[in-house]
Amino acid sequence: MADQEKMTQIVKELEELKAAIKALTKGKDAESSSTSTSIESSKELHINLPKPFTGDCSQFSNFINALNVYFVINEGAYNSDTRKIGIALSFLEGNASFWKTAFIQQHTMNETLNLGNYADFLTAIKKDFEEVDKKGDTIYKLQCLKQGNRHAEELVSDFRILAHHADLISTPSPGATSSSCSTSDISSDLLLQTWFKDALNRPLLEQIMLSESEPTTLEEWFDKAIQFDAVWRC
């Protein structure tokens, strides 16, 4: 009888030990899963890496936009200002590398580098590389625009976008027709007509000017260019 009680006690202790081991294993699995999830969230995804910025001001906005998108995609990996600034600096090459060197020197004290916060970094780099005269630059692009091998419809689209960015033409509200677009005044319309005619290929321009009714507004020039170009390409 005593042996039976002893055996029952041993079995009970083994069951308790088994339950304890199971609980311990479950806890470790949960910890391992948590660690694995943490590692996964901080793993960097090398998708659409920003192109190196060489100091060309016309490409600066594209660079910053690409950088910000990259940070959103890799939010777990770049969860501190230091990491964001560090990776941003790594993409500065060419003439922009001189700015990088100066920035690092300015933020190094007693041989210790403190990059500061990302907002201040953006303010500093925008001050030196963001285009100062965006409107003037856009007007210059309008004056230099050429049709080349493109369809007139593509040229009109590009011309309209640039004119809008230069505040020389308004854009239609959603659902409105292209004729709803208008220039701010008559003088602007005449100026834009001149630039658009310069952008057209010479043979197409001559066809329009020799037509029964020469366009008198920018929108009429747009419509005629698309119409005559489509006929010529048939």
**pLDDT tens-digit series, residues 61-103:** 899 999 999 888 888 787 888 889 998 999 999 889 989 999 9
Mean pLDDT of the chain: 79
pLDDT of 232 above 50: yes
Would the pLDDT of 27 be above 80?
no
102/186: higher pLDDT: 102
| pLDDT surpasses 50 at 40 | no
Task: Report the distance separating Cα 85 and Cα 119, nearest Å.
Answer: 10
Q: Is the pLDDT of residue 38 over 80?
A: no
Exposed / middle / buried, residue 73 (Cβ in 10 Å: 0-12, 13-18, 19+): middle
Rg (CA), the chain: 33
> What confidence tens digit (pLDDT) does each residue in 115-139 have?
999 999 999 998 888 766 677 788 8
> Please, which pLDDT band fits residue 147 given cuts at 50, 70 and 90?
very high
Over residues 17-45, mean pLDDT: 50
Percentage with pLDDT > 90 across the chain: 37
**Highest mean predicted confidence (pLDDT) among 10-24, 30-44, 47-61, 207-221:** 207-221
pLDDT for res 172: 45
Mean pLDDT, range 109-114, rounded to an integer = 88
Q: How far apart are CA 140 and CA 162, in angstroms?
A: 10
Answer for the pair 185, 214: CB distance below 8 angstroms, yes or no.
Answer: no
pLDDT higher than threshold 90 for residue 167: no
Q: What is the pTM assigned to this prediction?
A: 0.46
At residue 5, φ and ψ (nearest 5 deg) are -65, -40
Percentage of the chain beyond pLDDT 70 is 71
pLDDT of residue 37: 42
Task: Please tell me the predicted confidence (pLDDT) of residue 129.
Answer: 85
> What are the backbone dihedrals phi and psi of residue 116, each rounded to the nearest 5 degrees, phi first?
80, -155
pLDDT at 110 over 60: yes
